[in-house]
Amino acid sequence: MSPVAHTPIDRRSFLRLTAMAGGGLVLGHYVLPSAGAEGAAPAAEKVNGLFIPNVFIRIAPDGAVTIFSARPEVGQGIKTSLPMVVAEELGADWKSVTVVSGQLDPAFGPQFAGGSMSTPMSYAEMRRMGATARTMLVQAAASAWSVPPGECVASAGAVVHTPTGRRLGFGELVARASALPVPDEGSVVLKDPRDFSLMGTRVGGVDNPRVVTGQPLFGIDQRRPGMVYAVFQASPVWGARPLSANLDHVKALPGVRDAFIIDRTVPAGQLTGLVPGVAIVAESTWAAFSARAELKVTWEEGRFAKSSWDDFARQAGELAAASPDSPSIAEARRDGDVDKALAASARVVEASYSYPFISHANLEPQNCLVHVQGDRAEVWAPTQNPDGARKIAAEVLGIPPEHVQVTITRIGGGFGRRLDSDPVAQCAAIAQKAGVPVKLVWDRTDDLQHDHYRPGGFHFLKGAIDAQGRLSAWRSHHVSFGSNMGADDYPARFVPNYLLLTSVLENGVPQGPWRAPGSNTYAWVTCCFLDELAHAAARDPVEFNLALLGDRDLVTGTGRKGRPYNAARMRNVVRQVAEKSGWGKPLPRGSGMGLGYYFSHQGYIAEVAEVTVSRSGDLRVDRVVAAVDVGSQIVNLSGAENQVQGSISDGLSAAWRQELDIRQGRVVQSNFNEYPMLRMPDAPRKIEIHFVKTDYPPTGLGEPALPPLAPAVYNAIFAATGKRVRQLPISRTDLSWS
């Protein structure tokens, strides 16, 4: 995803420009830069009477402050946190702030929510937006009083002249401030973080009151006059095409308006956009679901019709046994001489780790609402990637992207799934034929069987411990389904003799980003194998890992990912988590502690899990302690803690029981009864979070607290039971001990 470049200064003239283009008068078509899911987006006709220093802020004469939140809210809390950044710099009274979101508009700059990128990409800019507006309000007040602006401060929604205590509310300054030129970026002074009074506190989500009263916030809740309901049956076998279907029978069923075959892929040849299938359009969701139960389709199943997980595992085993010169094996990184170091070592540990495909299983099933009128379309979608939604809808409909207007709704869970817009593509194709607004809703089976999965994988590892008990060699062969470990992925750069080999299994399984892509499994493989090596070296795992992290502070990147690894930050969180968790305290047999740590999404996070395994093998996670370094500033403490708690529990959910089986080219599981996810009784009893502040720019928290959890729990299971488990999920293994 490359962020769209955008004009940093003179936002007001940029706004005017956008309002004209968006208003579409030039194009002779009146598309209001439309009422979003919950309000109006920037529009020229709303400018009058308001102070609008930039596209993110509006202040009304009564002092009401409106802050626009451009990024989709998936539950990561961005709709609250980025406006808090604006409000902090502005000096607004949070109680008089209304946050509005919902519209895709290039004036806002990049609008996707993914990769934990919203905070790092927007934090500095949101500060500038707030500070620019505050500077203008202060200037307006200073000129009203004929005093130097330096004697005035903005706070709690007013500007105060410090020497005299005179005060003008933001509302009273609207007219004067609106007449001022927008100052250039360089002249705007940001607040000293020591003066922050809103950021770093616990603020409840701005939509909470509407969430707890059941308001129509989500994609699936949207409705338009004259709307019909659609389902889409894609082939259970990936890459298949419908040859025929009992369409006449289905069309005659009660409440059914239409049924038809869609036989194309958009983008052409890809499995993650529009895929071939059968659409049913009906007068209600239930009529559509009921009709679908009677749909019979004959498929041409294609070349992946025989794939199975067992066969993938067999192929992976063959690759592991093959000579490294085999054409199916690539060398991703080689440092030193691994074979020599293995031969010279005091101990060699060999292990293979594997994990299955898993699903995002967003609780809100995929859905979309589209209304196509001529060469224009309106889309309402719970999308993490509104620009991608616009593009794919345009491509399906054969119209220019500017003719597609996208309203971003609240999202009932993202986790990366909604960066892909296949439901938008399907709904657009159906709505084009229907000619009226169409709401497409997937059922849970669609959702589990047509996800873009977190890939499974196989890792074949060898590690060597030298006579001094140090890790002297690491040899790893990663057999993947498309995307492999990178040359710089940990512990590369920290082991003198290091070899990473990669292979890819040919497969037709659609894959996509799942919370902390790559890291979500690599952390497990890496930290579990490191734990094995620590025990082989008869060293304490915390001490062993700290020693591995060495004494360099910043380790530069060399490989494909090329990111520097700040070993000092990582050592710091590992030490902190050991201290806070009481690492090393004696525990009875059946209880144990384990360490996991990983650098992902610019965050340095270490976690210790404390578990109890009963003699009969029942697992309980008693406590998880996390040390979290995401830079200098936590924006919303409540939201940040919620993300870490959620990532830890989600990590446990994935590690404990989530697994999809593949047989005959399709996913076997069809609903939550076959795909058990974490429930309250199994949630960690306690989660303790320690934010470690460092002098680095703030980064995101939607993802990086997840990867360390699985290895922490697995290593704790080993400490508790002596059982070394090398496959995910936990439920595959009998943990009983005696």
Q: Which of 24, 183, 255, 413 is close enough to bind ligand FES by CB under 6 A?
A: 413
Whole-number Cα distances in Å, 78 to 47, 117, 480: 26, 11, 33
Q: What does 714 interact with, of ligand FES, another protein, none (CB < 5 to 8 A by kind)?
A: none
Q: Which is nearer to ligand FES, 209 or 617 (CB)?
A: 209
Kindly provide the b/e burial profile for residues 305-315, where b requires at least 16 CB atoms within 10 angstroms of the residue's own CB: bebebeebbeb
Our CB check for ligand FES shows the closer of 457 and 684 to be 684
Unique residue bearing structure tokens 């496959």: 727
In one letter, which amino acid is 581? S
Residue 365 binds: one of another protein, ligand FES, none (C-beta under 5 to 8 A by kind): another protein
Contact 484, 502 (CB under 8 A): yes
- Tell me which of ligand FES, another protein, none is bound by residue 580, counting a contact when its beta carbon lies within the kind-specific cut-off of 5 to 8 angstroms: none
Q: How far is the CB of 215 from another protein (least distance, A)?
A: 7
Q: Are 640 and 701 in contact (CB under 8 A)?
A: yes
The answer to whether 203 touches 80, Cβ cutoff 8 Å, is: yes
Find the helix packing angle between 709-721 and 637-657, rounded to 10°.
Answer: 60
Q: Which is nearer to another protein, 404 or 634 (CB)?
A: 634
> Which residue's CB is nearer to ligand FES, number 413 or number 590?
413
Q: How far is the CB of 10 from another protein (least distance, A)?
A: 36
Could you tell which of ligand FES, another protein, none binds residue 321, using a CB distance below 5 to 8 A set by kind? none
Nearer to ligand FES, 455 or 651 (CB): 651
Q: What is the DSSP string of 386-433?
A: HHHHHHHHHHHHTS-GGGEEEEEPB-S--TTGGGS-HHHHHHHHHHHH
- Measured at CB, which residue is nearest to ligand FES? 363
Contact (Cβ atoms closer than 8 angstroms) between residue 652 and residue 716: no
What is the H or E stretch that residue 606 is in? strand 603-613
* 75 lies in the site for ligand FES, by CB under 6 A: yes
Question: What angle is formed at CA 563 by the lines to CA 5 and CA 127, rounded to 5 degrees?
Answer: 45
Q: Which does 319 bind (CB under 5 to 8 A by kind): ligand FES, another protein, none?
A: none
**Nearer residue to ligand FES within complex by CB, 365 or 707:** 365
Measure CA of the first residue to CA of the last residue in the chain; give whole Å.
Answer: 52
Binds 679: which of another protein, ligand FES, none (CB < 5-8 Å by kind): another protein
Answer with the entry of another protein, ligand FES, none that 284 interacts with (C-beta below 5 to 8 A by kind): another protein
> In the bound complex, what is the minimum distance in angstroms from residue 166's beta carbon to another protein?
36
Contact partner at residue 645 from another protein, ligand FES, none, CB < 5 to 8 Å by partner kind: another protein
Amino acid of residue 198: L
Residue 413 C-beta: closest distance to another protein, Å: 5
Unique residue bearing structure tokens 């817009």? 421
Distance, in Å, from the CA atom of 386 to the CA atom of 108, rounded to the nearest integer, reads: 12
Q: Which is nearer to ligand FES, 190 or 363 (CB)?
A: 363
91 binds, among another protein, ligand FES, none (CB under 5 to 8 A by kind): none
Tokens (6 digits) for 33? 């830069």
- Residue 546, C-beta contacts closer than 8 angstroms, at least 6 positions apart: 571, 574, 575
Q: Contact residues for another protein (CB under 8 A)?
A: 73-77, 202-205, 207-209, 211-218, 220-221, 223, 229, 254-255, 284-287, 289-290, 361-365, 410-415, 441, 443-444, 638-639, 642-643, 645-646, 649-650, 652-653, 671-673, 677-681, 683-684, 686-687
Question: Whole-angstrom Cα distance, residue 714 to residue 708?
Answer: 10
- CB count, 10 Å around CB of 247? 17
Nearer to ligand FES, 179 or 363 (CB): 363
SS3 9: coil
Closer of 205 and 596 to ligand FES (Cβ): 205
Residue with Cβ nearer ligand FES (545 or 649): 649
Q: 3-class SS at 512? A: coil
- Shortest Cβ distance from residue 648 to another protein (Å)? 8
598 binds, among another protein, ligand FES, none (CB under 5 to 8 A by kind): none
Give the whole-angstrom CA distance, residue 9 versus residue 147. Answer: 27
Q: Does 363 bind ligand FES (CB under 6 A)?
A: yes
Min. distance of Cβ 413 from ligand FES in angstroms? 5
Tokens 């780790």 label which residue? Answer: 353
Instruction: Give the residues lining the site for ligand FES (CB under 6 A).
Output: 75, 363, 413
